[in-house]
């Protein structure tokens, strides 16, 4: 795969480049090593029979590549309580797929809500002093059009982050938009 656009929020790209250059290099290498394949045959009404790029296949390649380079999962488990209530809900958690040192990485081929929730998770772990920067790897609009409906695209995420200014997320993030090799 190839990178078509990079966006730095609150100095995310600069922090990655200066403080975590090995992680930045590994992220670039992993993206370059993933091969997008049309292995999903659509059953959707608007695209029936069309061969699409498979998010499942790409996610598996990313998972194997990050694990091979020593990235692990980060999970915080807690009990949910709310003010003025006796209800306690144990076993809730926040989880990041790939972490090395204080760099959080998420690869998102899901709906837009999940991209935005990744920002909330980056914020959570940053606030807990368990991270310095987040990296979000997402499909660009051109790739999104060649995948199942429901997969979002990074341009929408960048557009919304720009409009929220410094308010959310209040954590340094680098957003990387990817596409298939040409």
Res 44: pLDDT: 63
The token pair that represents 24 in the structure block: 């930045």
pLDDT tens per residue, range 3-61:
999 999 999 999 999 999 999 999 999 999 999 888 777 666 666 667 788 888 899 99
The DSSP output letter for 39 is -
For residue 137, pLDDT over 90 is answered with yes
pLDDT tens per residue, range 93-124:
999 999 999 999 999 998 888 999 999 999 99
Res 166: pLDDT: 80
Alpha carbons 86 and 6: distance in angstroms, whole number: 46
Res 42: pLDDT: 64
What is the mean pLDDT of the segment spanning 75-79?
A: 96
Strands 103-107 and 133-139: parallel
Return the percentage of the chain with pLDDT > 70, whole number. 94
Res 161: pLDDT: 93
Using alpha carbons only, give the angle 25, 76, 13 rounded to the nearest 5 degrees.
25
For residue 150, pLDDT over 80 is answered with no
Res 181: pLDDT: 84
Domains belonging to the chain, first-starting first, are 2-72+99-179 (3.40.91.20)
For residue 60, the number of C-alpha atoms closer than 13 Å in the C-beta half-sphere is: 8
The mean of the pLDDT values for the chain is 92
Res 152: pLDDT: 87
Helix, strand or coil, per DSSP, at residue 109:
coil
pTM above 0.95, yes or no: no
Strands 133-139 and 173-179: parallel
Res 149: pLDDT: 64
pLDDT tens per residue, range 154-182:
999 999 999 988 888 999 999 999 999 86
């Amino acid at each position: 795969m190839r990178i078509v656009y990079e966006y730095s929020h609150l100095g995310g790209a600069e922090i990655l480049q200066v403080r975590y250059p090995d992680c930045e290099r590994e992220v670039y290498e992993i993206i370059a090593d993933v091969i997008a394949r049309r292995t999903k045959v659509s059953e959707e009404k608007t695209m029936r029979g069309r061969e699409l790029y498979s998010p499942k296949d790409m996610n598996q390649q990313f998972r194997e590549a990050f694990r091979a380079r020593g990235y692990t999962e980060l999970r915080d488990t807690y009990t949910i309580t709310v003010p003025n209530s006796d209800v306690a809900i144990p076993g809730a958690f926040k989880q990041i797929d790939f972490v090395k040192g204080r760099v959080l990485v998420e690869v998102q081929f899901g709906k837009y809500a999940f991209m935005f929730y990744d920002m909330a998770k980056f914020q959570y772990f940053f606030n807990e002093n368990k991270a310095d920067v987040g990296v979000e790897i997402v499909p660009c609009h051109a790739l999104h059009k060649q995948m199942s409906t429901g997969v979002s695209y990074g341009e929408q995420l960048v557009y919304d982050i720009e409009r929220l200014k410094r308010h959310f997320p209040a954590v340094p993030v680098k957003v990387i938009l990817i596409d298939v090799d040409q």
